Structure 1
Amino acid sequence: MSVVARRSRTLNREEIREMFSRLAELNPKPTTELEYATPFELLIAVVLSAQATDVGVNKATRRLYPVANTPEKILALGEEGLKRYIATIGLFNAKAKNVIATCRILVEQYGGEVPRDRAALEALPGVGRKTANVVLNTAFGEPTIAVDTHIFRVSNRTGLAPGKDVRAVEDKLLKVVPEEYLHDAHHWLILHGRYVCKARKPDCPQCIIRDICRFKDKTPG
């Protein structure tokens, strides 16, 4: 009589490597869907993206950046002037206040440049750990992972890096993701959560890691 071994709730090292190998083959050069040309443009876009969609942010920055895409130029617009460009984005009043305050700090303390330092980034108004991680990873090439709702969901569902909160998931991801995949892991996981491993109805039949994933309630094909 044979006994079928029960799989662990978490992925093992070989499965994790296989998972990222497949994601890399599907999308060799993943990046953010926010539109930007400089670290500053990325920073402002990420600040604006809180509780908003990338599509909505891109629509606003396509109007804003041709007019003002540096801290100095946005400061010249002023808070009320900035609001006219970002009024279609949720929480635009608070975001305008934070962006103006951030631009003032960048001009006064960093010569108008975005600092490549976590503590300095997190000290900027409207910038938390997640935003700092995005900027460090995408603008400066640092191997950081910004855990948003998509990455949190994918990490827990698949068994890649289960955790009760975003920081626990982030810390675990940094330990288990193979080094050669660490820089791009952030984007692969976000895109997978946004388009395949969706919150309400994951598209399991189209998932390239379906056989590896530990999610119990896979949708039928």
Structure 2
Amino acid sequence: IHTRSANAKWLDEIAHTNPLWIHTRDAARLGVATGDLVRVETELGHFVVKAWVTEGIRPGVVACSHHMGRWKLDAQGDRGQRQLSATVAIERAGTAWTMRRQRGVEPYASTDRDTARIWWSDAGVHQNLTFPVHPDPISGMHCWHQAVRVRRAEPGDRHADIVVDTARSRAVYQQWLARTRPAPQVSPDGTRRPYWLLRPLKPDRAAYALPGPKPEAT
């Protein structure tokens, strides 16, 4: 849920968590049942999330919505969006970072009486941080479909735990960046992207221009 929909209190009540979809066959192999904690390992680290066992997904594939898991630090107090944000603590050890939930969503008093009626505490898992940037070689856009390893959570793991290594993140980004095609080398008219591409709010034409001289027409 992005900014506009995350501020819709009715949607927050309907959808406020993001379990890991896992096929029944894979769950049986791992010894996992719905509601069990699993650790999802990526190239950068891992996150801990609850499993949702279903036949609504292909065996060998798992899925987890990246629209959940909003968080804030305790120092932020009552500022910001609260009906879908958990309070977390962040620790650093070298290039390794750990984020652990301290408190979930809580009811609170405001000019909207419904905020005192909040009954849920789970805000989901902010899995986005654990995935490296994979620029698509053609478009340059980020690829969300990535290979992961799923296993049962370890002793001491808690729901919504996140561990990442920023040095590893930088290294993976550089590897994928090397596969992309620099726009100045492939643009037919010296622009970043086609001006005719439909957009709700289109920037000025000058914003599309790449720095440097335009390529000669062929």
Do Structure 1 and Structure 2 share a fold, with TM-score over 0.5?
no
Structure of larger gyration radius: 2
TM-score grouping bracket, smaller chain normalisation: under 0.3
| TM-score, L = length of structure 1 | 0.22
